[in-house]
Chains A and B, each alone.
Chain A
Amino acid sequence: MSITLDQVTKRYQGSPVVNDVSLDIGDGEFFVLLGPSGSGKSTLLRAVAGLTGVDHGRIALHGRDVTHLAARRRGVGLVFQNYALFRHMSVADNIEFALRVRRMRAGARRARRKELLRLVALEGMDDRLPAQLSGGQQQRVAVARALAHKPEVLLLDEPFGALDAKIREELRRTIRQVQRELGITTVLVTHDQEEAFALADRIGVMNYGRLLEMGRPDDLYARPATRFVATFLGAANLLLARQTHRGICFGSDPVLTRGGDGAQSAREHEVVAVLRPEEIELGASRDSLRSVYMAHGSVEEILFSGALERMRVRLGDGITDAHVMRADNGADSAYLEVTRTQHEQRVFPLSPGQEVAIGVRRLHVLPTPLSSFTACGADAADAQAIGRQPFLTELAARMKTRVATRIEPALGNLDGDGGDGAEFGGAAVISAARAAAHGGAAQCAAWLMRRGAEEVFVLPEEIPAPRRVLIHWVDETARRATLAVSASLLRHLSAEAVYIGILPDDGAVDAQRPLGVRALLDARSEAQAMHGLEMRTELRFGDVAAELARRLGESPDQLLILGISDIDELTRFAPLFAVPGRALLIVYQPAGAASRRP
């Protein structure tokens, strides 16, 4: 491996900007770190270069640990967005800078410089000053300068950001060519997915400091695992669908009959489906579609953009706005984005207002267990108030999902049967304060779980943005489900994950420690391998509920995810519900039951 990152964390004023990133980049690989601004990708690149220290974790280059090595000894080449050329030096002096520092003889320097100028197609520019070159040429000089000392790794920080489209394309080609010719391991940071597709052998997508997914560009595009990657890599319609024994349904008829491995699950449940704009077929009627019929709709708006026609289609016919998840489109979001090729346009010309039948060529179901939220209250006022909880609305917006409300008049009432029996869409949410009138939060959570809720979120009226998410499961049955939910939630929070392992304090603490540590490592590697979740671990001794309550009470910006397999266990955790002002997410996974969670 050329570059190995192991749980690299960088905090800025207490909150992590790079959060537990582990990554292996192979020899000669072109790796692109893709993410929106503020996702921590540039910080990670600077950490690899040695310009930023890390607070936790390890960085190795070619098997050599460089975590505490100064930038100038790491042997990397770095190219900046604004070129960072030395303006008072000629092109020749800029390129030879690293060689002069290394006291290379003048003849050898000149030969190396000529070679590099040829490589970046700038022969004969030796005596120019940077100010006399165009932006594209300056960046070529910067690339040549970064390669002069034959670094083992080339790092590029948004190198095309300041250039216009045409030169960008040209320089992109040059860089790809240089990279192939030298076979140098390269990491490029960008926010431009088109650039990532054009250059990368592999892409790593970052958001909130976390490396969400990694993979070949075509794999990531076709089979994203997270909402963020689905929408950041190209356009995507995110839809809430129902997974039934017949397949994936939006209305009454299944759109997709083979629904991934979860299809065999006996229970119906809600899933998040990704529908790419180009995978949608529009036809005059249901019978004229060559793909599977999904719904009817009307064309709202058509934009011509060269090769493709882009349009928005308003959904009707059984599919309501409740299914469309793109919350960032605004409140009125019952639209599908559709693109059509020139060929499709000629076969079936469309104009705004026209009624169409919508067909689906290909649908991808995200393996995320947290599809949406349902705020539950004993009356409408309660449910709505919970639905407006600031943390919940922020989380729902980040997950591009919705918060439904549900009125359960008999909430928490142990005698009444109550509940309308309908499926819970996603996680149920209750208010810690409002639950007090209905037998307490623990009792309400248990009540909801008995009626089918698989996750119950207990929220106080207001909480600070969590910086740490504590994870614990009571027994191994709940492990998989707890990890899946934790991974899904943590993708949308700028918080670190800490798994708390607790062993009974029976006086033989030292004898038990190795066992406990092994369990922690198992949990950590499963989280990493199965869910792409990096977590820290802590080992404690004592009573489970008391230790968790103590840990949770330590600081207000913490959230606890607790996995249980027996609803009656919840009574044991009363001390947790007593910690004021903390959010709890309880994940319920009964033994033997098929999980809908991936």
Chain B
Amino acid sequence: MPQTSFRQPSVLPGFGLTFGFTTFFLSAIVLIPLAALVLMAASMQWSEFLRVVLSARALGSYRLSFGASLLAASINLVFGFIIAWTLVRYEFPGRKVIDALIDMPFALPTAVSGIALTTVFAQNGLLGHYLSLLGIQVAYTWIGVTIALTLIGMPFMVRTLQPAISEVQRELEDAAETLGAGRLYVFRRIILPTVLPAMLTGFTLAFARAVGEYGSVIFIAGNLPMKTEITPLLIVIHLQEFDYHGAAALGFVMLVISFAVLLTINVLHGWGRRHLVATAH
């Protein structure tokens, strides 16, 4: 009977109510504020807009914000995979503790992690001292920014990968091994294709989080214009000077770039899935 397909049994009340609520909620907390931002930016003079968003200081901040975020997400792609793999595949004493520690960057106020990182990586800090002996300065450089963003993005990567890795049945590896495949072959042809979608999702989340990060970075960045100044900080500086339009313009640019990057990753995601299925062997 055709009617039955409209009435899918569910714990929550019907489709009409839930859809209405979804639209309202999204509008109130996402769409309307974003629209306000776009409107504010749109009310500027074109030349004024370009002057703000293309200033050397702004361009420098984009480079740092997006560059460091991509780098941090890439680092997480590798190390997050190793951490998730270890937690899923091995039983060892303290596994539960380490598993709980993964969530710490979620819970910690970002300013706290920022201050902690600065203390450790400053020239007289626990690790910074030895690194500076090697000639590597972490705090108050782009390296410090990247480390802070890696820390912030790590739980997104690990938590997204864990369920995907536990989906890779051990039997699949066993089967491949009895068929004659070596370890590297098994990893490339069996494990990677299975966890790749989750890796891309984790990468996206970690990247998005890093772009928006403010609290932990400003302590370790040093905030030198053109060098270690991230875009969110530049926005705050504009706000402190009561330059609301300038802040909105920069915010608009971040919105556009972020959206473009996320869209690209999603397209890659879909393409990769089709491509892998079609040619995997």
* Chain A contact residues, CB within 8 Å of chain B: 46, 49-51, 70-74, 76-78, 80, 82, 84, 86-89, 93, 96-98, 100-102, 129, 142, 145-146, 148-149
Contact = CB atoms under 8 A, between A and B. Distances in A.
Contact of A98 (B169, B179, B194): B179
A146 B180 CA distance: 11
B178 interface: yes
A89 B278 CA distance: 8
Contacts of A49: 174, 178
Contacts of B178: 49-51, 71-72, 74, 76-78, 146
Interface string B171-210: 1101111111110010001100110000000000000000
Contact of B174 (A51, A74, A93, A101): A51
B172 A86 contact: yes
16 contacts: A51-B174, A76-B178, A78-B175, A80-B175, A82-B169, A84-B169, A86-B280, A88-B193, A88-B277, A93-B280, A97-B179, A97-B281, A101-B180, A101-B185, A129-B277, A148-B179
A88 B180 contact: no
B31 interface: no
For A73, A78, A102, which residue has the most chain B Cβ atoms within 10 angstroms?
A: A78
B35 interface: no
Interface residues of B, number: 21
Nearest to A157: B171
Interface string B265-281: 00000000000110011
A76 B179 CA distance: 8
A101 B185 CA distance: 8
B217 to A, nearest CB: 39
Given A80-B174, A80-B175, A98 B180 contact: yes
A84 B281 contact: no
A93 B281 CA distance: 6
A50 to B, nearest CB: 7
Contacts of B277: 88-89, 129
A84 B174 contact: yes
A100 B281 contact: yes
Nearest to A96: B281
A182 B166 CA distance: 37
A49 B177 CA distance: 10
Given A86-B190, A88-B193, A72 B181 contact: yes
Contacts of A51: 174, 177-178
A129 to B, nearest CB: 8
A86 B177 CA distance: 13
A50 B189 CA distance: 21
B172 A84 contact: yes
A73 B177 CA distance: 9
B175 A101 contact: no
